[in-house]
A and B are shown apart, each in its own frame.
Chain A
Amino acid sequence: MNSTKLFSKGARLVWRHQRIAWWIFAVNLILGWLAIGGVRNALAPILDHSAASQRLVEHFDLAACIELFTDPSVPIQALVPASMHFALIFLLYMIFIDGGILTVYREDRKLTIAEFFEMSGGYFWRMFRLVLISLIPFAIVAGLMGAVSGMSGKIGDNALNDRVGFYVLVGGGFIVWLIFLTVRAWFDLGQCMTVARDDRGMWRNSWRSLVMTLRGLGTLLATYVCIHIVGIVAMMALMWTWLHVPHAATPLSLLILELLLGIEIAVRLWQKAACMTWLESQPVAVSAPVYEPTPIAAEPGPLPQDASPNPGESEGI
Chain B
Amino acid sequence: MVTVLVLLCAGTVAQQPLSDRVVAYKIDAKYDAKSHSLDATETLTYTNHTGQALDRFPFHLYLNAFQPKATWIREAHRDGSRDFGPGSPWDAKRTGSNEIKSFVVEGMGDLTKQLHFVAPDDGNADDKTVVEVVLPKAVAPNASITFQISFHAQFPEAVARSGYKRDFILAGQWFPKVGVFWNGKWNCHQYHANSEFFADFGTYDVNVTVPSNFNFGSTGVVTNTKQNGNGTTTYTAHAEDVHDFAWTADPTTKVVTDSIQLPSGKVNIRILMQPGHMSSTDRYMSALKGTMQKFEEWYGPYPYPQITVVDPPHGGGATGGMEYPMFITADTAWAMPKWAMLPEIVVEHEYGHQYWYGMVATNEFEDAWLDEGINSYTEVKIMDALYGRDTSAINSHVTTTGEAGTQRMMYFRTGDYDPLTRNSWEFVNGNSYGGVTYGKTATMMLTLESILGEAKVREAVHTYFMRYRFKHPTEEDFMNTVSEVAGQNLDWYWNQAVKGTPVLDFRILKAVSLRDDWYKKDAGEANKSTDYTTFVTVHRKGDFILPVHLLVKFDDSSQVKETWDGQDRWRRWEYHKKAQLVSAELYPGEFVPMDVDQFNNSFVVKADKRATAKISSYWMWATQMLAHLLSWLA
Contacts and interface: CB of A to CB of B under 8 A. Distances in A.
Interface of A: 28-29, 31-33, 35-36, 39-40, 43-44, 46-54, 56-57, 59-68, 70-71, 79, 83-84, 86-91, 94-95, 98, 127, 131, 134-135, 138, 156-158, 160-163, 165-166, 184, 243-244, 248, 250, 253-254, 257-258, 261, 264-265, 268
A156 B335 CA distance: 14
Given A62-B401, A162-B314, A57 B614 contact: yes
Contacts of B597: 67, 71
A91 B611 contact: no
Contacts of A258: 621, 624
What size tier do the contact residues of chain B reach?
Answer: 35 or more
Contacts of A57: 608, 610-611, 614
B609 interface: yes
B80 interface: no
A46 B608 CA distance: 11
B166 interface: yes
Interface string B596-622: 011111111101111111111101111
Given A32-B624, A90-B627, A250-B617, A44 B400 contact: no
B160 to A, nearest CB: 18
Contacts of B610: 53, 57, 248, 250
Contacts of B390: 59, 61
Contact of A88 (B314, B401, B630): B630
Contacts, number: 202
Contacts of A156: 314-315
A163, A244, A254: which has the most chain B beta carbons within 10 Å?
A: A254
A248 B614 CA distance: 8
Nearest to B412: A67
Contacts of B276: 161-163
B378 to A, nearest CB: 19
B569 to A, nearest CB: 20
Contacts of A54: 608, 611
Q: Is the interface of A mostly helix, strand, loop or mixed?
A: helix
A184 B634 CA distance: 9
B78 interface: no
Contact of B604 (A51, A59, A94, A135): A51
17 contacts: A40-B612, A43-B615, A49-B607, A50-B604, A59-B399, A63-B401, A70-B412, A83-B619, A83-B623, A86-B627, A90-B630, A127-B634, A134-B633, A254-B617, A254-B621, A261-B621, A261-B628
A257 B66 CA distance: 50
A87 to B, nearest CB: 4
Q: Which 5 A-B pairs have the closest CB atoms?
A: A63-B405, A162-B314, A90-B627, A53-B611, A94-B634
Contacts of B608: 48-49, 53-54, 57
Given A32-B620, A87-B630, A157-B315, 10 more contacts: A31-B627, A43-B612, A46-B600, A50-B600, A50-B604, A60-B614, A61-B390, A63-B393, A91-B627, A166-B335
Given A127-B634, A158-B166, A162-B313, A50 B603 contact: yes
A53 B614 CA distance: 11
Nearest to B622: A83
Contacts of B632: 184, 268
A25 to B, nearest CB: 9
B73 interface: no
Contacts of A35: 619-620, 623
Nearest to A70: B413
Contacts of B315: 156-157, 162
Contacts of B402: 61, 63
B19 interface: no
A51 B619 contact: no
B624 A47 contact: no
B626 A83 contact: yes
Interface string B39-82: 00000000000000000000000000000000000000000000
